Amino acid sequence: MNPIGAHMSIAGGLSRAFQRLEAVGGECLQLFVKPNVQWAAGDVSLEEVERFQKERARTRVNPVVAHASYLLNLASPEADLRRRSILTLALEIVRCARLGLPYLILHPGSHGSSGLGVGIRRIAAGLDQALKRAAVPEVELLLETTAGAGTQVGHRPEQLRDILGHSRDSSRLGICLDTSHVFAAGFDLSREAEGEQFWQDLERQVGLERLKVIHANDSRTPLGSHSDRHMHIGQGYLGKAAFARLLTDPRLAGRPFILETPKGTAGDQSWDAVNIRTLKALRR
């Protein structure tokens, strides 16, 4: 069975994310392991690790995965930005290891005016350097599929394949698939036949064994828009039927489905609670 959960805030401390997830009925969790909008972060204290593990055990949330800072751009033509991205990614890998998290998800990056091939090689090299600098074996990096806006890398299976192929340590790399991004990139998961063609292509180019996490987001914008705009489940262009197929596809069994849909309330209810209930109903 696919566990269903959401990305939760770490305001007030990393361990607070478990309470927030518990309140909306989540079974798995995604969080940032440091403030998302700043480069620097201190060490995770032993006390914070203990609180984190205590809450994790109490709530029985599993799995717990991390998302890297949006500031990172391993494909950047700016050498200083690439250097800072590699150092910060290494820091986040170490923090994940201290917290016992198996996966760190990141956006591959944007190549600017450098060209796709150069961007792909920079991403692969940056991943290798961050893993080497972190020097911890426990954490796997997951490349998130992108919507393909501007010069983003990673919106087609062959681009993910090439990043993996250029890495010297691809055994430490996997994939996180965002349903909204895939749809915005031009792959129609809302239709069964077209969706099946995409899954077969992903299997051929990358291998479904590398797919570890699914970001379950409906799309606010139409097919092929290349716009990263998430929507509540069943209220966007993907629709409930697409998520029902994904949640009952035996090839995706066991993968966590994690919401990144807009926060807020629907009447007196949290939108996270509403979306989690919707996915659980479709899972059944």
Contacts of 32 (CB under 8 A, 6+ apart): 10, 66, 67, 68, 69
The CATH superfamily label for domain 4-283 reads: Divalent-metal-dependent TIM barrel enzymes (3.20.20.150)
Backbone conformation region of residue 20, classed left if phi is above 0, alpha if psi is from -120 to 50, else beta: alpha
The H-or-E segment that residue 223 falls in is: none
Q: Which residues of 96-125 are buried (b: 16+ CB within 10 A; e: fewer)?
A: bbbbebbbbbbbbbbbbeeeeeebbbbbbb
What was the pLDDT predicted at 42?
76
* pTM (whole model) above 0.85: yes
The SS3 of residue 209 is helix
DSSP 33: S
Q: Which two tokens stand for residue 143?
A: 């490349």
Q: Which two tokens stand for residue 214?
A: 């699914």
DSSP 27: S
Q: How far is CA 30 from CA 37, 222, 257, in A?
A: 17, 26, 10
Dihedral, CA atoms, 125, 65, 195, 282, nearest 10 degrees?
A: 180
Q: Averaged in consecutive runs of 10 residues, what is the pLDDT profile of the chain (284 residues)?
A: 97 97 98 90 90 98 97 97 97 96 98 95 98 95 97 97 97 98 98 98 98 98 97 98 98 98 94 98 93
Contact of 191 with 154, CB cutoff 8 Å: no
Boundaries of every domain in the chain: 4-283
Please count the other Cβ atoms lying within 10 Å of the Cβ belonging to residue 222. Answer: 11
What was the pLDDT predicted at 245?
98
